[in-house]
Amino acid sequence: PAPAPSAAASLHVRHRAVMPEWLALYYREPLELTHGEGRHVWDVQGRRYLDFFGGILTTMTAHALPEVTKAVAEQAGRILHTSTLYLDRHMVELAERIASLSGIPDARVFFTTSGTEANDAALLLATTHRRSNQILAMRNSYHGRSFSSVAVTGNASWSPTSLSPLQTLYLHGGVRSRGPYAALSDGEFIAACVADLEDMLGQAHGNVAALIAEPVQGVGGFTAPPDGLYAAFREVLARRGILWISDEVQTGWGRTGDHFWGWQAHAASGPPDILTFAKGIGNGMSIGGVVARAEVMNCLSANSISTFGGSPVTMAAGLANLTYLLEHDLQGNARRVGGLLTERLRAIAAGLPVVREVRGRGLMAGVELVRPDGSPAPEAASLALEHARERGLLIGKGGREANVLRIAPPLSLTVAEAEEGAAIIEETLRQVQHAEGKERP
């Protein structure tokens, strides 16, 4: 008799029968996770995995962090009302802390439930404030899946519709690895991108509302422009009153190691006008938000744009998580452990032609895989995910051609865990290289 399908397999069948086709699942046999602790998660069969993807950066600090669990349980047992119509102590305190951390003068904070919604709110603010629906965005960018956030998402394959409520002009600066930009020095690259920006502004119809950009492109494959690119853009934009929206959904809270926010690698001409965040701040609870100067935030005439806008439970979680990550200097940990991990990955990659590049900022490392002819190798990335999983490691993938392994563990990763994960990645990449059959002698 055929073996009985595992619990995860039958759940997979039910998932496919009832959920939309486009809701992608990782792995040939999708994972059902049952619990986690620290940097590890367990599946329904009891197998343990080291988590190098942090639930796509949502488990920012650690799985089942007792401080966050306690805050959630206490708040859930007390009151669960969800409306921005009443005062919430945790919400006000979290907003105060984020406002002062944001670097934006006279900052106001508005909470949402996702990054998409945060960008939606930012675009609503920018277009209203500037009375324009023209937006500048980066090629290869990802900002979410709502009608307005797909309209500024640079890659067609991440946009479920080509219809758009915004007039978007796409700029160079997101990806540099191929084409004429690859050969330029950092300074030349920045100058070329600024010239492109000026050219685009010349093609716009009057007012442009804002530039929206990720300091390090996340879904786009962890690609970062040279430090200072957005400062150079900012100078051009500020002269025309155009706002700068920094999408910090992946780069916020110290993930990049050297900085608390990604924009700080581009700080020479000051902070952005608007900053958006989400994912990790709730350590798994659903929080997003937008920070803006009061003058920009207060340009809306509606009296509220959300029922949730945070909730007592998610706000308590966010506050406990933020407190933990600041008290334990997880930004410093991201710098130190992330630096070691990226160095290790570079050493591993040196002998493997299947790896075109290892790039990283803090605990955000991308490993770009190519075929022997140098073209993108999405099949190698899929294979790497399967092999790593078999060895007990979860990683992600991304990039325009889905050929970049994305490594973004919880920020509390230890050196021993970084080494354990790197050893698995080494075996995995060797196996992938073997499959390509082109290992260097």
- Positions touching ligand PMP (CB under 6 A) are 114-116, 119, 142-144, 214, 218-219, 247, 249-250, 278-279, 288
Q: Which is nearer to ligand PMP, 287 or 432 (CB)?
A: 287
Identity of the residue, 53 or 142, whose beta carbon is nearer to ligand PMP in the bound complex:
142
- Of 60 and 219, the one with the shorter C-beta distance to ligand PMP is 219
* Least CB distance to ligand PMP at residue 58 (A): 8
The answer to whether the beta carbons of residues 360 and 366 sit under 8 Å apart is yes
Note whether 104 and 291 are within 8 A (CB).
yes
Shortest approach of ligand PMP to residue 25 CB, angstroms? Answer: 16
Q: How large is the angle between the packed helices 229-239 and 186-203, nearest 10 degrees?
A: 30
Q: How far is the CB of 394 from ligand PMP (least distance, A)?
A: 16
Cβ-proximal residue to ligand PMP, closest one: 115
Residue 355 Cα distances to 12, 27, 220, 386, 438, angstroms:
32, 21, 17, 17, 12
Dihedral angle over CA of 115, 116, 119, 121, nearest 10: -110
Q: How far is the CB of 383 from ligand PMP (least distance, A)?
A: 23
Q: Tokens for 21?
A: 């086709």
Question: Measured from the CB of residue 423, what is the shortest distance to ligand PMP in angstroms?
Answer: 28
Q: How far is 5 from 420, CA to CA, in rounded Å? A: 32
Nearer to ligand PMP, 219 or 370 (CB): 219
Residues 60 and 283: beta-carbon distance below 8 Å: yes
Closest CA to 395 of 371, 416, 364, 372: 364
Give 115 or 338: the residue with its C-beta nearer to ligand PMP. Answer: 115
Local structure of residue 3 (DSSP, 8 states): P
Smallest distance from ligand PMP to CB 308, Å:
13
DSSP characters over 325-364: HHHTTHHHHHHHHHHHHHHHHHHHHTT-TTEEEEEESSS-
Q: Kindly state the tokens that stand for 395.
A: 């990683």
Q: Give bridge partners of residue 394 from the DSSP assignment.
A: 51
Shortest gap between Cβ of 250 and ligand PMP (angstroms)? 5
Kindly tell me which of 61 and 116 has the beta carbon lying closer to ligand PMP: 116
Of 49 and 277, the one with the shorter C-beta distance to ligand PMP is 277
